[in-house]
Amino acid sequence: MVRGYQKRIIHLKNTESAVFDEAFFLVNERSSKGMCERELIREANRIVDDSLREKENRANKIREYFLRAVFLFTGAAISSAIWFLLTLV
């Protein structure tokens, strides 16, 4: 444990997220110079919102790939059935 060293922490409660209830952000003192507390909190909220959107985008991509596969196999089955019926004639 290092003594005499202090970090600024932003603690967000009730993030309204399905993933996590609370978020802790350790603020880099060098990078945050010139930023007020309100700007730091706004940035922390933006990061939380971006993580939620990323999860939703990932779910949408999986759903899209699944539907493409279903349509591909359905089209292949219909084409095969038509070819089979035409070869019987």
pLDDT computed for residue 1 by the predictor? 47
Quick: pLDDT tens for 3-58. Answer: 555 567 788 787 777 677 788 887 877 766 777 778 878 888 888 888 777 777 77
pTM for this entry: 0.47
Residue 37's domain comprises 8-88
Task: Tell whether 62 is covered by a domain.
Answer: yes
Q: Is residue 1 part of a domain?
A: no
46 part of a folded domain = yes
**pLDDT score recorded for residue 23:** 81
Q: Per-residue confidence at 70, pLDDT binned at 50, 70, 90? A: very high
Position 74 in a domain: yes
As for how many domains the chain has, the answer is 1
**DSSP codes joined into one string, the chain:** --SS---EEEEE-----SS-S-EEEEEPTTTTTT--HHHHHHHHHHHHHHHHHHHHHHHHHHHHHHHHHHHHHHHHHHHHHHHHHHHH-
Instruction: Say if 37 falls within a structural domain.
Output: yes
Asked, for residue 3, whether it belongs to a domain, the answer is no
